[in-house]
Amino acid sequence: MGEVLMRQSSVLKCFAVLVLSFFTLNVILLLKLTDFQDIMSRILQVDTENKENILRTKDFDEWLCVMNDSQVVNVIRRMKTEECKKAAIHLACAAKKKVLTVNELTNSCPFFDIASKGLYVGCFANVDSSSSLSIPSYNFGKNSSNRCIAACLRAGFVYAGIDCQHNCFCIDSYNESRPAEERNCQLFDCSKNGPNRKSLEKCGEVEAVSIYGTGVKAKPVLTVKYVQQNQTHSDDHQVQILFLLQLNGRNIRQVKQLLRVIYSSRHLYIIHVDKRQDFMYSSLKDVLSGFRPHTRNIHLISERFGTIWGASSLLSMVFHAVNLTSVMDNWDSWDFVINLSESDFPVLPLEELEFHLARNKGLIFLSSHGHDTARFIKKQGLEFLFFECEHRMWRLGKRDRFPENIRIDGGSDWFVLSEKFARYAASEAELPKELRKIFSNVILPVETFFHTLAANSEYCNRVVKGNLRLTNWKRKQGCRCAMLRKVVDWCGCSPLVFTISDAYKYSTMVSERKPIFFARKFESIISQSAISIAESQVMRLRSDHIDVQHSSYNRTWLNFYDSKFEHSELLTRWSFMLPNASKIEVLSDHCKPLRLLSMTAYKENDTADIHFIPEVEYECTNYLRTAIQFLVHFRGKSDITRFLFADGYQLEDIRWGSQIDLKEEIFRNYASIVSVVRFFPDVSWFTIN
């Protein structure tokens, strides 16, 4: 009887636990459902009275697809517009369902043989520990020959090797004199960790590696040397260049200086200005209006893109510019396209660039990342899915895959492309069309798209090593990426501005030896002298076109405020106080300030402090209006009156300001006028011996 009661009690307890569990599960589901509806109401702004309809919407289905991905949810919460939120959810869900990318593409490079892809080469002794440190490798939890081959093909290697179940090595050659017995490559079963558990595939052992072909064949490196220009120019050495100027910022003076040294009636100049830079766009329109209708080889693009750092819109802009030349009169016969920014400047004469390109028509000049593509893919963030919206690149998690048979390549986003290749890249052919879709969701797509397209197309044997330019890389300082967080979910590096101490890097002798025809970055507000040195080299064949003795030759000025495009109550109020502060009684007593017209940063030379020039419109007696400029020197440097020591260091200097540029180590608020306490000290230290 006791046993029966105990059994009944146990049954009742189990039943109670079951009921309680069922009830708890329902409560959780109801809470989850309510949470889903609430989230969708807030994210998609669905009418709360019609919440029951949300379960039948495509938007809600896609939200269910990504709701457990914390990275996607974080992005959605940070986005401001409903359009961007919906598009981000749709893209992330498509990636998770593996419908975002085609399974495979045709690789038409002559140095790729699909028949040798996956071909088993044999079993060989493993690489020794000292040499293996420089060999690209992967460690796959789910390893197989197919997965390893795909990874090594993507990285551009000739062979893939597997050992120790989960190790995958990518190599271009192997030691044929060190074969291993086949049974040594059959010791470890990789199928138990692989995606196909029924497979009998083996993954080598510790001292032996199974080697397979990837389909990639060794390709010779194509280089082109500098050749001294002949005195006479024959028709065979004529070339037409399409200069694509992709401009940002406000330094119109430096842009005009660039145009002056690269301009020729023989070439074409298509100019794009970032859609956020209205001052630059308007200034260029004014400059170009003075040339028309006589100058028909310069075109300012009216459709503008927001070309933020790393954005996919920059790649879209390049295609837009190339396609424009197909529909414009007399713009369809160029030989090369060269992209330049406002920070680029030539270092050799235009005539020598023409001669160099005329000798190498049909070639593509690209600067690659180096040998280890596997490391580049990881550092470049290519394994992540990015999405551009709200003038920002959002990271939406891992990319599902890249197409089979495609190797990834990349390097610099500054290029010299042949006309045929550039038009092929913008065409509706399958390979460029599908790659454009893929790279629309890649960070820094211009750094990888053209390299990857060339590597997998018939143009792969037309790529020259080097993009004919020098970049001033200083990785430690250039990789301070705090400023990028405003526009991208990524940390990237940028080159630094050349100063006069860097001029040896782009001297005529060095430039001819490499060869390089352009260098970056230059910025006049940091070093006008560096630009002047480059200009003297470029114009040495036309020295009568520049006046190096002119008083403004090494001076610079930069507009950073214009009332036609922006308004600042803080700057306006501050400028109205200038007459009293400067004790100009005539203005104080007889004139009334109306508005602040502009503010310009001015620098006498490279080592001088930055002054700024506010221009204010006044209404004086008899209702006469006049614009008056003030030259203002802001004292942002503090005097150290006594030695201050801390932990073996002495305080040497203190400067304060706002909008600090951590890479160039300067304040970008040239007026240094702040309304609240938001200045950042820039402290220099030196060690006490």
Q: What are the DSSP calls for 407-442, one per residue?
A: ----B-S--EEEHHHHHHHTS-SHHHHHHHHHHTTS
CA distances from 401 to 117, 150, 422 (A): 18, 10, 26
Tokens of 260: 């002056």
Among residues 471, 252, 464, which one has the least CA distance to residue 344?
471
Tokens of 550: 């002119």
Residues 442-482: tens digit of each pLDDT = 999 999 999 999 999 999 999 999 999 999 998 888 888 87
What's the whole-number mean pLDDT along residues 187-194? Answer: 62
The predicted pLDDT at position 34 comes to 47
Angle, helices 278-289 vs 252-262, to 10°: value is 40
Among residues 225, 557, 188, 206, which one has the least CA distance to residue 359?
225
Residues 188 and 107: beta-carbon distance below 8 Å = no
For the chain, the structural domain boundaries read 26-96, 114-213, 235-545, 556-629, 637-687
3-state secondary structure of 305: coil
Residue 196 or residue 514, greater confidence = 514
Question: If one looks up domain 235-545 in CATH, what number appears?
Answer: 3.90.550
Spatial separation of the C-alpha atoms in residues 88 and 83, rounded to whole Å: 9
Q: What is the mean pLDDT of the chain?
A: 85
Read off the pTM. 0.87
135 contact partners, CB below 8 Å, separation of at least 6: 127, 169, 170, 171
Radius of gyration in angstroms for the set of CA atoms belonging to the chain, rounded to a whole number: 32
Alpha helices in 103-168 (DSSP H): 129-132, 145-154
Q: Categorize the per-residue pLDDT at 207 as very low, low, confident or very high, splitting at 50, 70 and 90.
A: confident
Residues 489-516: tens digit of each pLDDT = 998 889 999 999 999 999 999 999 999 9
Among residues 238, 228, 303, which one has the least CA distance to residue 265?
238
The predicted pLDDT at position 4 comes to 44
Residues 372-405: tens digit of each pLDDT = 788 888 888 999 999 999 999 999 999 888 999 9
For 422-509, strand residue ranges (E) read 463-465, 469-471
Q: Categorize the per-residue pLDDT at 134 as very low, low, confident or very high, splitting at 50, 70 and 90.
A: low
Angle, helices 82-96 vs 70-78, to 10°: value is 170
Whether residue 54 has pLDDT greater than 50: no
